[in-house]
Amino acid sequence: MLEDVSITALHAALNGLAARQRAISDDIANVNTPFYRAKSVAFEGGLRDALDSGGDPMAVQPTVSLSSAPVGLTYSNVDINAETVSSVHTQLAYDLALRATGDRFTLLRTAVKGA
């Protein structure tokens, strides 16, 4: 009963968002590291495709790629402003997915108590 598609999809989304937050943290920590290349994490398209086709959302793995954006004076291409905005956006999405997961378990708990 707990292995429905919504719980599995939320779990996969939380995994992808956590991977993105780790990449952003690495980028921010290395903003002044010479020749460091910023990372980006993609998982939403694969998750959407898995859900549309009835596949297993947990089979979707976040994909990390290196940015090809132009480099600055230190030959690093980390844009601290973009990373900060991305971090806030990712945190809000993570909080939303976490809230949806909690709401789903509250619904299941209520259903079990009523039975």
Structure confidence at residue 3 (pLDDT): 62
Q: Is the pLDDT of residue 68 over 60?
A: yes
Return the amino acid letter for 35: F
Hey, where are the domains in the chain?
5-114
Judged against a pLDDT cut of 50, whether residue 1 lies above it is answered with: no
Strand, helix or coil for residue 45? helix
The pTM for the full model equals 0.87
Is 73's pLDDT higher than 80? Answer: yes
Collect all residues with Cβ–Cβ distance below 8 Å to 18 and sequence separation of at least 6: 94
